[in-house]
Amino acid sequence: MQKLDFNNTEIAFQGKSKAEIKRAYYLFKLVNKKSLVSFGKAATDISLKLHLPINWLIKSTIFAHFCGGENIQECQKTINKLSNSNIGTILDYSVEGKGKLEDFERCKNEVIKTIIKAKGNSNIPFSVFKVSGIANIEVLEEVCSGKSLSENTKLEFEQIKNRMEEICLNAYNNNVQIFIDAEETCIQQAIDDIVLELMMKYNKERAIIFNTLQMYRPDRVEFLKQLYNEALNSNFKIGVKLVRGAYMEKERERAVKLGYPSPINTTKAETDNCYDEAVKFCIKHIDTISVCAATHNEKSSMLLANLMENNNIPKNHPNIYFAQLLGMSDHISYNLANAGYNVAKYVPYGPVKDVLPYLIRRAEENTSVAGQSSRELELIERYKVNG
């Protein structure tokens, strides 16, 4: 195994063809310019409203780069390709913005399909779902508001809990670990409470159920410590996926609009510190906590690798995973995997039109995260020059 080096572009792009490298180069060139991303979003919205035939264009460009396919079967090629580099796949049904009961049931059933696909398959170490995909957001907001609930709201909330229970029971019965993604702060408490119940029920022997902590929230380190104490007192294992956070602008805008203090850190440095503190805490208690460091941050990834080495923790320890999104930060994913660490890629899938909100967020994220697109471009350009 070579020494871990995130600047090693030979390893970072070993699984990509010349055509894929070229496509990635032009995509990151595009998303490096905020004005072009805004124009592209507007043009896409207009094209869809006018029913213009742009699906083929999207599917062959940004969809092909960031997604595995339109269904689980189409993702198999990506699963095989990643496994050739010792990288696992997390199948992520990324259809958003649905609000009817039949949509919630369809999403629930699709998540269960990913669990069945992952059963006994070492190339698919986790399944994942967003509660907002199977739940009415307004119901969760009402539950979190502290107000008295109507009978209808109580009924809908029970239905949400039942859908989560069905998914997690399937995960437990099939021995598949499952991530429950984080949501906006205004609904997260209800999710945290449900996930705690599910952990206490299904995480007796090992972590099957994972909660997701957004570390741009200054209260999450303390939340993790309290969760650890709860696990000791109630005799269950903890599963956590650590992310920095996905709703920064919405959180701040909502706080201003409703006149309450912003629930997230004011600076990136504070978020970085919270993230790294959480990583350190997990490593300190690795017998109780299974952790997935889902990050595109090189420093945090290297911190975790160094902590493992300094504490004589095997690189392939079953309680520790690194994860990045498909199409992003390959220099982290592939170099970690090459060095022997457990690594997985989130592989979104779903019908092109339905996955568009996810794709637009990815483009906007690359323009808003300082240096993200520039770093991707720098590595691709260096690889092209050296190649």
List, for residues 119-168, the tens digit of each pLDDT value. Answer: 999 999 999 999 999 999 999 999 999 999 999 999 999 999 999 999 99
Q: How far apart are CA 125 and CA 167, in angstroms?
A: 16
Q: Report the pLDDT value the prediction gives residue 362, as an integer from 0 to 100.
A: 61
Question: Residue type at 287?
Answer: D
In tens, the pLDDT along 318-370 reads: 999 999 999 989 999 999 999 999 999 999 999 988 887 777 766 555 544 54
Top pLDDT among 359 and 46 is at: 359
Work out the average pLDDT over 294-299.
Answer: 95
pLDDT above 50 (res 43): no
- Which band of pLDDT confidence, cut at 50, 70 and 90, is reported for residue 96? low
The pTM (predicted TM-score) of the whole model is 0.92
pLDDT above 70 (res 292): yes
CA neighbor of 302 nearest in space, from 335, 253, 260? 335
273: which 2 tokens?
Answer: 């510190």
52 contacts 382 by C-beta, under 8 angstroms: no
Percent of the chain topping pLDDT 90: 72
Q: How far apart are CA 31 and CA 363, in angstroms?
A: 6
Question: Residue type at 336?
Answer: L
pLDDT above 50 (res 36): no
Which residues lie below 8 Å from residue 368, measured CB to CB, with a gap of 6+? 248, 249
pLDDT above 70 (res 34): no
pLDDT above 70 (res 373): no
Q: How far apart are CA 174 and CA 172, in angstroms?
A: 5
CA neighbor of 205 nearest in space, from 168, 239, 181? 239
CA neighbor of 143 nearest in space, from 166, 168, 160? 160
